[in-house]
Amino acid sequence: MKKIAVLTSGGDSPGMNAAIRAVVRKANFHGVEVMGINHGYEGFIEGRMDLLDLGSVGGIIQRGGTKLFSSRCPQFKEDKYQYQGIEKMKAAGVEGLVVIGGDGSYRGALELTKKGFPCVGVPGTIDNDIPGTEYTIGFDTALNTVIESIDKIRDTATSHENSFIVEVMGRDAGDIALWAGLAAGAESVLIPEEAYDIDEIIARIRRGEARGKKHSIIIVAEGVMSGSELAKILKEKANIITRVSVLGHIQRGGSPSARDRVLGGRLGAKAVEVLLEGRGGRAVGIKNHQVIDYDLEEAFTQKHKADLSLYTLSKELSI
Ligand code: ADP
Ligand code: F6P
């Protein structure tokens, strides 16, 4: 291959720019040009792209978001738009594509590969919900954003002896809630992967009050319910008054952590290697600290499993 392209798709995440930078630098190192496609699959369909040279990815490693913008493009699910984009790529001499995004973007990458346009997936999402890789780019930064926010909430919770419900992102995965719960010392964590017992949550709050705890922090993943719904249940069932903080999109921003910058660099470079070896239809990831690549299809046939040992530990440590 002498020319490839890269795009970012779906929910953006801190570290995507580090991955973009690595794709360009690694490809150029091997004498391969890189076109940057703007606005994800929307730009792919329209052939909206610019040449990315070494200088164009300078000064971005520390920046959140994505210099290529991103999109959610439902029409791309239709074959005719996928073929239209492939024609635009061929007309520009682009021979392969690195897709940086979440599981939805991976599905698009697989469809393109099946249509003869080789793609390699790089896991870029804060959700950490892509099967086959232990971490996704953006998860660590989002986690640190959440615990910094909870530490701030805990200050006012202590001052006013109020309990707080903190609603976090993760779409259908509980990793952000689970890891943040442990890292921030939350009293209770609700995740989609585990059925919650409201009576147990109430009993835990009461036990804490009995031993002098002045407040509780309850983290709820958005895939379970909203923070306000949980507040309503606690009020109606046990007259427990709580305040609700929905962290929302601040979890998607911020300067990427060192871990996400390094992960973005390693995985972006690996994706170029795999593509240049002529192995489309692959995803790159991290397993036991090693960079790996695996069949893109595996990212759908398997289901991401939250590490439930953290769930048990979180309950034990917050008695
Ligand atoms: P993420 O990649 O973060 O999971 P989405 O689920 O929104 O975000 O997927 C991003 C984009 O990937 C979608 O807007 C759509 O363009 C494309 N996509 C998602 N699912 C499919 C699919 N089954 N076939 C083709 N393209 C898809
Ligand atoms: O997939 C990343 C993510 O931030 C999810 O955690 C969240 O549910 C979703 O995107 C929000 O999507 P949008 O930014 O389109 O509202």
Whether the Cβ atoms of residue 85 and residue 44 lie closer than 8 Å to each other: yes
Per-residue confidence (pLDDT) for residue 300, from 0 to 100: 82
What residue has token string 């001052």? 159
- What percent of the chain is modeled with pLDDT above 90? 96
Whose CA is closest to 165, among 239, 227, 251, 250?
227
In the numeric block, the tokens 């609603």 are attached to 167
Q: Which ligand is nearest to the CA of 126?
A: 2
Dig out the tokens for 36 from the structure.
């940057």
**Residue 301 — very low, low, confident or very high, per pLDDT cuts 50/70/90?**
confident
- Residues noted as catalytic: 127
Ligand at shortest distance from the CA of 10? 1
Please give the number of the atom of ligand 2 that sits closest to the Cα of 176.
6
Residue 11 Cβ contacting ligand 2 at under 6 Å: yes
- Please tell me the distance from the alpha carbon of residue 213 to that of residue 319, in angstroms, as a whole number: 11
Atom 10 (ligand 2): residue with closest C-alpha? 11
CA distance 2 to 94: 8
Q: Rounded to whole angstroms, what are the CA distances from 242 to 13, 72, 223, 268?
A: 30, 35, 20, 43
Q: Say whether pLDDT at 319 is over 90.
A: no
**pLDDT at residue number 304:** 86
Q: Give the pair of three-digit tokens for residue 302.
A: 């398997």
Run of H or E including 206: helix 198-210
Residue 274 contacts residue 282 (beta carbons within 8 Å): yes
CA of 13 to the centre of ligand 2 (A): 10
Fold of 139-252: Rossmann fold (3.40.50)
Which residue owns the Cα nearest ligand 2 atom 13? 11
Q: Could you state, in order of their start, the residue ranges of all structural domains in the chain?
A: 3-138+256-301, 139-252
Q: Give the pLDDT confidence score for residue 123 in this predicted structure.
A: 98
Question: Is 274's pLDDT higher than 90?
Answer: yes
> Is residue 149 a contact partner of residue 244, using CB atoms and an 8 Å limit?
no
Hey, how many other C-beta atoms are within 10 angstroms of the C-beta on 264? 29
* Angle subtended at Cα 11 by Cα 32 and Cα 252, rounded to the nearest 5 degrees: 105
As to burial, measured by CB atoms within 10 angstroms (0-12 exposed, 13-18 middle, 19+ buried), residue 30 is exposed
Average pLDDT, stretch 134-146? 98
Per DSSP, 92 falls in state T
Task: Of 180, 140, 143, 171, give the one whose Cα is nearest residue 263.
Answer: 140
Token pair in block for residue 149 = 């926010």
How far, in Å, is the centroid of ligand 2 from the Cα of 106? 16
221-267: pLDDT as tens digits: 999 999 999 999 999 999 999 999 999 999 999 999 999 999 999 99
Nearest CA to ligand 1 atom 27: 108
299 is written with which tokens? Answer: 């990212």
> How many angstroms separate the alpha carbon of residue 106 from the centre of ligand 1?
7
171 lines ligand 2 (CB under 6 A): yes
Strand, helix or coil for residue 39: coil
Q: Is the pLDDT of residue 6 over 90?
A: yes
Q: Do domains 3-138+256-301 and 139-252 have the same CATH topology?
A: yes
Tokens of 89: 């790529």
53 pLDDT above the threshold of 90: yes
The architecture of the domain spanning 3-138+256-301 is 3-Layer(aba) Sandwich (3.40)
How many angstroms separate the Cα of 251 from the Cα of each of 108, 210, 317? Answer: 25, 34, 25
